[in-house]
Amino acid sequence: MSKSAQIAILTAILLLAAGTRILHITQQSLWIDEGITYFNIQSPDLIRTLAQTDVHPPLYFALLKGWIGLAGGSVLSMRMFSALFSILAVALVVPLAKIINREQPWFRHPSVPILAALMLTLSDSDVVLAQDVRMYTLRTVLVLLSMIFYLRWTRRMTAWRAALWMLPSVAMLYTQYQSGYILVVQGLHALLFLRGSVRRNAIAILFLIGALFLPWALGVAVDQRNNDFGIQAALPSNWTTMTQILQKYLSSQWGLMLALLLLGTFMLMPGPGLRWRPAGPTFILVTWLAFTLVISFILNLAYPVVLAPHRLLLISPAIALLIARGLRNIRSPERIVLVGAIAVFGLAVVDDYYPKEPWDQMAASATQYSLPGDMALLELYRGDNPVTYYLDWNTDHTLDVESLRKWREYTPENYPQGLIDILNQHDTVWFFHWSPDLTGFDLLAQTGYVQTALLTTDHIGNALNVYRYDRLPETPVTTYENGMTLRDVAIDAADMRVDLWWSSPEPLSVDFTTSVFLLDASGQLAAQNDSFPFENRRSTSGWQPGEVVYDPHALAPKDLPAGEYTVAVQIYTYQDGVRVLTEDGEQWAVIGTLTVGG
């Protein structure tokens, strides 16, 4: 295969990797772990926040913070940061394949780096985490760089190569703690396969890498063990977990891929018999994979967060390389057919998919009606972080966001009085609730709020609820002859919207239409919105006696000539157009004015 052909194929694979990692990158909401990332990078003191509330080192978060400063803080921008590292990992597996197989002529074939890049491209776990605002793809890149520069240093010891090996090695420790597995693999390889001064210097450099990490390890990491690990997403250390991990990293074709992986530990060169020996390259790849799994299984018994599949992403390059070597052991015509089948299956079937809670939709359900000065109160466990992101970034109306969980965990000495003091500063609260804890409802009731609306977002049969709570004046605006009482009004000229609050002391057997309209200075109709209450969602025949119903009306047209308009409300029955008079016998109630322009 010519060099130009190799470059063309690798370019196509990189484009495929980019496509799989960028396609649908914003389709799902930020999930809980991504929300934690947002919480960390929003902190004015990142190190202190990580030390007190998290279980990760700081490098990824610091880099992401800088990236956001350049590219913005949208979901697309933040996830692209991970996607770019994942694409870079596909490119880096090529030089690793070349250098790691340099001493084995059979696996030095130009097809092996190409196949390794293709296998990593098709890895569903890599694709999923490329669309995740977390540190795992950055860690993969640093692991690859550490291994590449380690192997290059073993071939020619220079200070420059030692520095190149040390830099990504230290950086990966400051990115995610399980990166340390790779340094153990390198240390075992140095002890077993290197000789003389090369071995001594390698061990010395590994100790130096550890020493550069020691200040953080002793000053922060040790104490982080006492922090809340969050949702227990790790799997138990048992055989069922092993099969699940195999399926995630080898796909649902795991039997075939496992056979190819094992085949990659042998050399089936022409001639009789198998040619296998524990050569250095094979040892590195097998130990890279096995050590990570075994140690994770053991550590998971003490810290049941270690064996989460996404935390094991550092094994994917080793798997890709072993499978590529296994494919090399298959004769060419059959190999081409098999690679084609694997590629088609990998692109057509999704083996690693997690339906994330639609926090974006939940937040949007409230922000479409929120006004400046409203408050958001969250009882969502760690879902409070992604919802906070969407409340911060996806609305022009700045909300005062408070999390009940954070009050209880971070400032228990001021809870609940500190929160009650904040509640008393607002007239409207949007209560986001998905939890068995009902404390928030009690706090809102005791501070004089009345529930006026309920917005529900479905998540696989689960209701993500947003309740609107308002403080209402004791004196109503007006009452109509059918018993409907207009409890309060709010006129928003900026959004050309009028909000109404209704109640009725008795059940209503008829569905009444509520109408809000504007009259210009000459008394002519200028804008209007008619509907059953709350945009046809709260028909009056379904009201309970005494309940308060929120009823927003977006006026059309929104673009009106400058001037002052009279705002009025009327009630009528849609089927015959008969108006319900006010208690004063008027056909409508004038509730205020709206000024456009000027």
CA–CA gap between residue 594 and residue 598 (Å, rounded): 12
Reported as a single tens digit per residue, the pLDDT across 263-296 is 998 887 666 556 555 567 899 999 999 999 999 9
Give the tokens for residue 392: 């911060």
C-alpha distances (whole Å) from 211 to each of 87, 166, 214, 222, 551 are: 31, 11, 5, 15, 64
Dihedral sign for Cα 123, 127, 133, 137, please.
positive
C-alpha distances (whole Å) from 466 to each of 114, 267, 463, 557 are: 51, 61, 10, 29
pLDDT at residue number 323: 97
pLDDT at residue number 463: 95
As a dihedral over the C-alpha atoms of residue 293, residue 298, residue 303, residue 304, rounded to 10 degrees, the angle is 60
Full DSSP string of 248-296: HHH-TTHHHHHHHHHHTTSB--SSSS-B----HHHHHHHHHHHHHHHHH
Closest C-alpha among 572, 564, 574 to residue 589: 572
107 pLDDT more than 60: yes
Average pLDDT over residues 39-48: 94
CA–CA gap between residue 381 and residue 383 (Å, rounded): 5
CA–CA gap between residue 533 and residue 502 (Å, rounded): 9
Of 243 and 22, which is predicted with more confidence? 22
394 pLDDT more than 80: no
pLDDT at residue number 270: 66
Q: For the chain, what percent of residues have pLDDT higher than 70?
A: 96
pLDDT at residue number 351: 81
Reported as a single tens digit per residue, the pLDDT across 481-537 is 999 999 999 999 988 999 999 999 999 999 999 999 999 999 999 999 999 999 999
pLDDT at residue number 395: 63
pLDDT at residue number 396: 67
Grade residue 125 by pLDDT with cuts at 50, 70 and 90: very high
pLDDT at residue number 233: 62
Average pLDDT over residues 328-338: 91
pTM of the model: 0.92
Of 235 and 411, which is predicted with more confidence? 411
Reported as a single tens digit per residue, the pLDDT across 562-583 is 999 999 999 999 999 999 999 9
Reported as a single tens digit per residue, the pLDDT across 445-460 is 999 999 999 999 999 9
pLDDT at residue number 256: 93
Grade residue 397 by pLDDT with cuts at 50, 70 and 90: low
| Three-state helix/strand/coil letters over 473-523 | CCCCCEEECCCCEEEEEEEECCCCEEEEEEECCCCCCCCEEEEEEEECCCC
Asked if residue 14 lies in contact with residue 91, where contact means CB atoms within 8 angstroms, the answer is yes
Reported as a single tens digit per residue, the pLDDT across 224-271 is 988 876 655 677 888 888 888 888 899 888 999 999 999 998 887 666
CA–CA gap between residue 324 and residue 329 (Å, rounded): 9
Q: Left (φ > 0), alpha (ψ -120 to 50) or beta: where does 72 sit?
A: left
Residue ranges of domains in the chain, CATH in brackets = 3-221+233-348 (no CATH), 359-470 (3.40.190), 478-596 (2.70.50.60)
CA–CA gap between residue 577 and residue 571 (Å, rounded): 9
CA–CA gap between residue 22 and residue 16 (Å, rounded): 10
Average pLDDT, the chain: 93
pLDDT at residue number 276: 57
